[in-house]
Structure 1
């Protein structure tokens, strides 16, 4: 299991990919598999952890250098692991890492890659160029439908360890925005909706890159009132408290969100979601039961008022049924088995062709002239 070098697994604050991987690793181990985790930072899962950096590279997020060097470090470390203990396959969650797939194939290993981000524009060109070297896993049906010609091996929704998340039925009088401060995530729309609904907004999330800071100053700060609170980046404990106490989570996405972890994090705490339709939102939220899915920002204020009467138990039950850690483990287990069967069948076929007796001209017997 290969993760990016930017955050611990599980993350101490920001780090959606790392949170999913932590749950996946432990779910697989609970199901009887052996997992070696390659990354940076401190060990925090049940897997054997192999750090390939002295410390996490959070301050270099967005810089291509650590991404590329990380792929090279992983290649060397994984080759040693294969020689020492044996490995069946590589599951990569990084962007540059899949470029190692031909090398892993030389070691007899197939490569599975979870696509945690978008599949349009430049990412589409990249994943398309990887071809059959990697088996891609979508995190939503919508994501897969946007690029049906990629080499998909399956779809596995993200999930949570339910027991790690608190439940609270009585809510405080604020709406919550939790995410990156970008135009795609649209906290400015969350502010407008909360104000129109007569409820303050707490804004928590990542805002440290230049583009995020510029967006905040231009689109968010002018809308803030004295009732609103800019919390900053919340660590794991603070995030759980904010989510469990909020009257609702506002998720007014303006892009094809591949999944949206914060939605299931809110619902498992008993907090309904008010979202704009986009990406995987309709796969995650049960409209009218665990939240409201709106088609226009003008609908958001009414939805904020409506969901305050929704049943918190129903929100948590929805996550337990559809997005629990065991569904994550079983989903990837199916993908791994399919990929391994295909990989072994291909190798047997190649060996069979090579081992056929040669005729006088050097062609395999039975080959067309």
Structure 2
């Protein structure tokens, strides 16, 4: 294996550090560590406050000095949008100047359009991982050159299919979890829901399903939408439903190991579902809605899926899922969700595009 020099572009919005803001940040952190463990040199370009153990270079997210006339313009976007735009613009201009002397490959794990739109200005291969369904900004960036020079991967076959009309050759490289860290546990009597507390993740539906099944539920994760949490989640807490806060990986793994099952309740088409992989690695079966890529990860031996949004159907499945063999859940994680598989696939792709 040849040691590669990798520029790993991450989110400028959230630091790559624990407790993670979401699955994208957790994935980027895990991938960076796995690549370094394999002997690669990784320079992570990430938001301020990222894990210093990764040797992250902070993306220059700072206020842009705009004139009063520019700020008053009717087309002026939000200040946060401008700061992100400025950060990625500066980074891509820097990589265009001398990126080929410093790196063998640039791997874009951000959701921003500029690393794709400006890839043709670089003299080093660029890989972009598609972590979401199609977005207008990214679709526009892909179509900017006559032939987009970027090599694309997708985090699931479902996501690759969603992008297929515009990116027909996206290679599926599924996100993975460190199965040495996420260790199996004995289970327990209750359920766990984890993730960002936002409408598209549906934690309020998880509470209703658990309550209908008569099983206690704990919820863990960042309150990323305070108005939604206050209006839809907080009023449902109590009576067996407890919000335990935004906790780090160690705390989350402990909760998963002592839970009978994990609930996953997306109200959107989940591009992958890292929380599913984390649960399976802890030998915890999964009960959820059949949205997006969840059906790719789960088998009937380790999880069951209800029709999207059908709370009663989900509640009816919960007792069955709680009786599933925990060994089957762990085996599925080792076979399908291991971070080693993800890192090996990316290493092979780095060598391919840089050769």
| 1:70 matches 2:101 | no
User: Contact 2:61 / 2:87 at 8 angstroms: preserved in 1?
Assistant: no
Match of 1:157 among 169, 174, 189: 174
Which residue does 1:292 correspond to in 2? 304
User: Contact 2:111 / 2:131 at 8 angstroms: preserved in 1?
Assistant: no
Which residue does 2:68 correspond to in 1? none
Distance 1:111 1:166 in 2: 34
Q: Shift of residue 37 of structure 1?
A: 1.6
Q: Shift of residue 229 of structure 1?
A: 0.8
Which residue does 1:115 correspond to in 2? 130
Match of 2:201 among 177, 185, 190: 185
| 1:174 matches 2:190 | yes
Number of matched pairs? 327
Change (3 A) 1:313 1:10: farther
Which residue does 1:38 correspond to in 2? 45
Distance 1:149 1:99 in 2: 21
User: Contact 2:302 / 2:324 at 8 angstroms: preserved in 1?
Assistant: yes
Distance 1:285 1:76 in 2: 42
Q: Shift of residue 198 of structure 1?
A: 0.7
Match of 1:87 among 95, 103, 107: 103
Q: How do 1:97-116 residues align onto structure 2 when only pairs under 5 Å count?
A: 98-101=113-116, 103-116=118-131
Distance 1:108 1:76 in 2: 12
Q: Shift of residue 62 of structure 1?
A: 9.8
Distance 1:136 1:5 in 2: 20
| 1:316 matches 2:334 | no
**Which structure has the larger Rg?**
1
TM-score normalised over the length of structure 2: 0.82
TM-score normalised over the length of structure 1: 0.79
| Structure 2 unmatched ranges of 5 or more | 1-7, 63-77
Q: Shift of residue 217 of structure 1?
A: 3.0
Which residue does 2:10 correspond to in 1? 3
User: Contact 1:175 / 1:200 at 8 angstroms: preserved in 2?
Assistant: yes
Distance 2:117 2:124 in 1: 9
| 1:330 matches 2:344 | yes
Match of 1:150, SS state, is coil
| 1:264 matches 2:281 | no
Which residue does 2:69 correspond to in 1? none
Q: Shift of residue 52 of structure 1?
A: 3.5
Q: Shift of residue 269 of structure 1?
A: 0.8
Match of 2:9, SS state, is coil
| Structure 1 unmatched ranges of 5 or more | 56-60, 342-369
Match of 2:41, SS state, is coil
Which residue does 1:26 correspond to in 2? 33
User: Contact 1:154 / 1:335 at 8 angstroms: preserved in 2?
Assistant: no
Distance 1:48 1:13 in 2: 17
Distance 2:233 2:22 in 1: 23
Which residue does 1:141 correspond to in 2? 157
Distance 1:101 1:216 in 2: 34
Distance 2:79 2:178 in 1: 29
